[in-house]
Structures are given as C-alpha cells and as structure tokens.
Amino acid sequence: MNFSIKKYIPNTITCMNLVSGCIACVMAFRFQYEYAIFFVVLGAVFDFFDGMSARLLKSYSPMGKELDSLADDISFGAAPAFIVFSLFQEVQYPAFLMGLKEYIPYTAFLIAAFSALRLAKFNIDERQTSSFIGLPTPANALFWSSLAVGAHSFLTSSCFNAVYLFIMVIISSLLLVAEIPMFALKFKNLTWKENKIRFLFLISALVFLLVLKVSGLAAIIVWYIILSLLTQKKKG
C-alpha cells in the first residue's frame, strides 16, 4: 500500500466517528433514540479502530490525536447532551419548575462541556496510559443513550421528573472530570490473578445485557463505576 495513502486511513476512520456523532445528534433532536444509540455505538466502533489502525500502520500524528478528541466530543459529548436535551422536553416537571421549563433543557449541554474537559485532560495526563482517571466519555455516552431507549417509559412517567434528570446530569458531568481511578479493559495477559476485576466485569456485563437488554448498557456503566470505586478502596 502506498505510504501516502496509509497515513490517511486512521484520520479517515476518526472522521467517520465524527460523522456518526453528528447523525446521533440529529436523531436525538428528533426524539429517535433507537437511531441515536446506534450511531453512538457506531462511533465507538470507529473510535476503537482508528487507534488500532494507527498502531498497525504506524501512522501516528499530532493532528490525528487532536482530531480524535474533536470527534470524541461530538460522538460522546454532544450526542449524549442532545439526547438529554430531548429527554428534558419529555419528562414531567414539578409545579415549582414550570416557569423554567423552557430553559432547563439547556443544562444538558453541561455534558458536552465536561466531556471536552475530560478529553483535554486525558491528552495531557500521563497517568492515564493503562487506566483512566474519571469516567471515559464513551462510557458516559453509552449510559445516556441506552437509558433513553431502555428506560424511556420510566423517565417520562410520573415516578420521575426534571429534578432527578438534572441531578443525574450534574453527577455524570462531575464523574467525567473526577479524580477517581477507573480500570481499563486492557489485558497484558489472561491470568485470573491480574485480571479478576476485568473478568468479573465482562461476565456481569453479559448477564446485564441478557437480562435487561438495551438498558443493560446503562447498568453496565453504573457497575463499572462501582467496581472501580471498590477496587480503589481496596488498594487504599
């Protein structure tokens, strides 16, 4: 393969991630959450393969690193923000918030802002080579998109309201930049002793998906956060 072509492959895949994120934003704005989650997941697939292709083809570049962060903030920052923006327009509002109903949905874009901060921090934080500090943006995007699809009837019921949704936005935004170590699914070997947390997570993730279907993705992300906190507490 011609070298001049090889070096553009990773960035092309990254751009496909970005385009997937843009489409997810449009689908979310139209309340078509099933399509939104499809394109969020597709973006995550492209995000995985752009890094892999860069390693295989040895086509690293400073521009590629910056482009990757920009694409990720669209697919895993703006897209979940648009999903929550639309959810804010569907959820119930308590009487004391009715006067602010037109404005509260815009608080959803805190997710996009904190995702950008998370990505910028990741780019300059040398501690995050083998694990993460704070919730990864793809995990946050998968949480919101799967929740919008799998738990939509609950979110729009009288048992839930905009106050709870706003609290969830704040929590997820803070988790993105929190100084909380979170394990990565990177296997240096397959021994149980060194990877028991990863194996436990993957097995339980499969159970969540089989039992809860789409909303199982949201449960998996919550379980990922809990496991990371328990692991850190045990080390401490």
**pLDDT tens figures, 161-198:** 999 999 999 999 999 999 999 998 877 777 888 788 89
pLDDT at 236: 54
What average pLDDT does the segment 117-133 reach?
85
**pLDDT on residue 179:** 92
pLDDT band at 54 (very low <50, low <70, confident <90, very high): confident
Helix (H, G, I), strand (E, B), or coil: what is residue 163?
helix
What is the secondary structure of 115-143 as a DSSP string? Answer: HHHHHHHHHH-GGGSSEEES--HHHHHHH
* Structure confidence at residue 60 (pLDDT): 73
Tell me the C-alpha distance between 153 and 150, whole Å: 8
Q: Return the structure tokens found at 53.
A: 């292709």
Ordered domains of the chain (ranges, CATH): 3-181 (1.20.120.1760)
Residue 126: per-residue pLDDT = 78
**Residue closest to 80 by CA, chosen among 148, 16, 154:** 148
Q: What is the mean pLDDT of the chain?
A: 92
Q: What is the pLDDT of residue 235?
A: 60
pTM, 2 dp: 0.92
pLDDT at residue number 146: 98
54 contacts 68 by C-beta, under 8 angstroms: no
Residue with tokens 């946050």: 140
